[in-house]
Structure 1
Amino acid sequence: MTAEQVAEPTKTHRAVKSSGRFWATAYTLLLLLTGTNLPTPLYRGYQQDFGFSPLVVTLIFAVYVAALVPSLLIFGPLSDAIGRRKVLAPAVFVAALGSLLFALADSTPWLFAARILQGLAVGAASGALTAALSELEPRGDRRRAALVSTVASVGGLGTGPLVAGILAQYAPAPHVLPFVVEIVLLIPAFITMVTLPTARAATKWKPRRPSIPASVRGVFGTSGTASFLAFTVVGLFLSLVPTYVTKLSGSSNLALGGGAVTLMLGCSCLAQLLAYGKPAHRLQITGLALLAVGLVLLAVAGGLSSLALLLVATVIGGVGQGLAFLGSITEINRFAPADRHADVISSFYVIVYLGVGVPVISVGFLAAVTGLLGAVQLFTAVVAVLCLIDLVVLARGRNKLAEAAVSGA
């Protein structure tokens, strides 16, 4: 199967294409990811108000991932079968409900319940929205659709902590106002999802074990590993780095902690925009190399108590994360069969979100024993080594393809 054949949409999901609907769908993805990361700079305040430890923060992340992964596996394939609208409109509603629970929270169980709802919503929407962007792209350009989906996703990850940090620091009702703003902004997103075109597939959906089409497995393995490593860094920044920043800076300013997360993810978005059109394989290799460098510098910054070095590490790590993720999702988006597009994308996002959640949970447990600084340093060292290993695997795979092309010629 050629790339052109793979990229050709089937009649099942041939969507009515318009620039407005395409960008409205990107807006929905951006808003969902923004909302799910609004709590990031607020956890320190929740700890003080509700009296829980840093370990509980990682457990809150754990229930989010525990809800998100099965939601991805169920609702991504379901949207292939029953249409995007019937999955995405309820997902946006559930996301708003999760924000409402955060706004009303007066004890720790409310935070767990809110994160579960957010996990269900983002899991249901991620694969379907990414597939919808490919189907709605006015020129049918899957590479451009992949760029928009990655920038919207990573942009949302970075916007959430920044907006919540600024509102919490300088506006009233710090644990309420950010979520009220999110709910209001989700209203046009919900209207967009309700008006999406939908079509029923020729075959009915039925529960089954996750599987990847044979034609995509090689790309899925290498791209999934690169994205898993890229998002372990995102998970670290979203959960523990705001506290890490306050320790190094000696400041309790919530906007500063959220700003470090936004700087990292902003660099990721900028790198993706500048790298658009470059070969996906090269993006992955370059991204993994920069990730390794950024992680090493992050560990050294903690040892030297240097906020300036931490900011340098944040920029380098952000660029590396953006390149690795863009290269990975471009490859997946290119080769995913049209009749299982959201299914494959959802399985890919399972790897991504496991990268966000699982390693950071381990860091949380480790921090209870070694302290935050020691846990972050050990984590960054291990992930840096894994980045270099995956880089070598990708480079060797590229060399084998080049050798095969030469011998075939």
Structure 2
Amino acid sequence: MTTDRLTPSTGAPAASAAPAHKAPGSSGRFWATAYTLLLMLTGTNLPTPLYRGYEQAFGFSPLMVTLIFAVYVVALIPSLLIAGPLSDSIGRRKVLLPAVLLAALGSLAFALASNVVWLFGARILQGLAVGAASGALTAALSELEPNGNRRRAALVSTVASVGGLGAGPLLAGLLAQYAPAPRVLPFVTEIVLLIPAVIAMATLPKSRPTTKWRPRRPSVPAPVRGVFASSGMASFLAFTVVGLFLSLVPTYVTKLSGSSNLALAGGAVALMLACSAIAQIAASGKPAPGLQITGLALLAVGLVLLAVAGQISSLPLLLVATVIGGVGQGLAFLGGITEINRVAPPDRHADVLSSFYVVIYCGVGVPVIGVGFLATVTGLLTAVQLFAGVVAILCLIDLAVLSRKHRAEAA
């Protein structure tokens, strides 16, 4: 995962140290690479509104949903740490083509799923695919941008990443609700849409190796550990909310609304991610400490409203909570990654960012396992409410730490 900067919306690396490849048709390759990134992230979030149906069909609990969700992160992290430097060493094409094929296999496993074992296998394949592809795809975008404009490449990466994260639940919800074969058609559609991506990755230009391959061991230099701790915690909390929305909130929405409409469940996730992306684009360039403080405050408010919405069974309040939480998530993460980029020493930049990614993906995958365990005892609505309350308190604690630190630096 070799980077020069990060895309603000997802934390995907936005550039590589490799020189841009200027070849005829590179504009077409640029947009084909953006399409591939969009489709990879769309596919990994297709299951989001379908978990309720899997629960009913295969007879498992919300705990199993969170474990299925978390195994994706367990597979993704080592893949991310290995494949980033590997693509610098052996070339983008040799990493990206297998990654896209793995993504297609993951969707095929979902389409064929007849029990929970298939779901675990499919999520592992998706985690390996996205972990391998995320760094190499965003690096390829930077290298293939026709005018060598890395800012434009980063913007396209941001739009493609967030578009995929939001489009997956929405597309699956619409197809599952209004088309036949609700647990098959979304994944068959993804496989068909990945065919142009396979062709595009197979025809990428050869790139010259820039480094010798070695697995990247996450580490944080001592001088930046204070900033890493506070900013890492802010982004960890921001991504616990993403994990909650991607795993359990669709079921929460159906219980709260009394509707089994899968498009509604997927739409709530898409709304949250859309608000996150819009907030980041609007706030780009603003001071990082203020972004983190404002984001954590909004996250806390959104989480409290999420809990209250469940208590009073109010779908409109849930949508308000989704919007506020999405904006807060976007600002907190943008501020955190900006601050990490500022303090990371140039010779350890990738190592620090690798560690930061591990923190983020742990935020996505680990806390929701606790919610799943809790849901088996208290029920889903109560578990989500308790989780939201605890994370809101942690947001306020980190907000206080960051505020004190910001005042001390300004004095």
Shorter chain as denominator, the TM-score bin is 0.7 to 0.9
Aligned to 1:75: 83
CA 237–354 in structure 1, closer or farther in 2 if over 3 Å, else same: same
Aligned to 1:369: 377
Q: 1:117 aligns with which of 116, 121, 125?
A: 125
Q: For 1:13, what is the secondary structure of its paired residue?
A: coil
| Contact persistence 2:173–2:267 (CA under 8 A) | yes
Give the deviation of 1:142 after TM superposition. 5.8
Give the deviation of 1:386 after TM superposition. 1.5
Q: 1:260 aligns with which of 249, 264, 268?
A: 268
The answer to whether 1:278 aligns with 2:278 is no
CA 36–212 in structure 1, closer or farther in 2 if over 3 Å, else same: same
Aligned to 1:406: none
| Contact persistence 1:142–1:333 (CA under 8 A) | no
Aligned to 1:181: 189
Q: For 1:363, what is the secondary structure of its paired residue?
A: helix
Aligned to 2:246: 238
The answer to whether 1:200 aligns with 2:205 is no
CA distance in 2, matches of 1:11, 1:118: 23
CA distance in 2, matches of 1:301, 1:210: 39
Give the deviation of 1:39 after TM superposition. 0.6
- Please give the residue correspondences for 1:95-106 in structure 2 after superposition, counting only pairs within 5 Å: 95-106=103-114
Give the deviation of 1:380 after TM superposition. 0.7
Aligned to 1:167: 175
Q: 2:395 aligns with which of 384, 387, 390?
A: 387
Give the deviation of 1:288 after TM superposition. 1.5
Task: Encode CA deviations 1:201-220: one digit per residue, 9 max, x unaligned.
Answer: 24x22346322466765554
CA distance in 2, matches of 1:5, 1:254: 37
| Contact persistence 1:289–1:320 (CA under 8 A) | yes
Question: What runs of 5+ residues in structure 2 fail to find an aligned partner?
Answer: 7-13
Aligned to 2:165: 157
CA 25–399 in structure 1, closer or farther in 2 if over 3 Å, else same: farther
Amino acid at match of 1:264: M
Q: 1:16 aligns with which of 14, 18, 21?
A: 21
Task: Encode CA deviations 1:232-275: one digit per residue, 9 max, x unaligned.
Answer: 11111111111111111111111111111111111112222222
CA 311–196 in structure 1, closer or farther in 2 if over 3 Å, else same: farther
Aligned to 1:407: none
Aligned to 2:10: none
| Contact persistence 1:229–1:387 (CA under 8 A) | yes
Amino acid at match of 2:107: S
| Contact persistence 2:300–2:396 (CA under 8 A) | yes
The answer to whether 1:310 aligns with 2:318 is yes
| Contact persistence 1:142–1:334 (CA under 8 A) | no
Give the deviation of 1:21 after TM superposition. 4.3
Percent of aligned pairs with the same residue? 79
Deviates more, 1:35-44 or 1:182-191: 182-191
- Please give the residue correspondences for 1:267-346 in structure 2 after superposition, counting only pairs within 5 Å: 267-332=275-340, 344-346=352-354
CA distance in 2, matches of 1:294, 1:241: 13
Give the deviation of 1:227 after TM superposition. 1.8
The answer to whether 1:40 aligns with 2:45 is no
| Contact persistence 2:15–2:142 (CA under 8 A) | no
TM-score, normalised via structure 2 length: 0.86
Amino acid at match of 2:209: R
CA distance in 1, matches of 2:50, 2:28: 34
| Contact persistence 2:169–2:270 (CA under 8 A) | yes
| Contact persistence 1:131–1:342 (CA under 8 A) | no
CA distance in 2, matches of 1:59, 1:295: 22
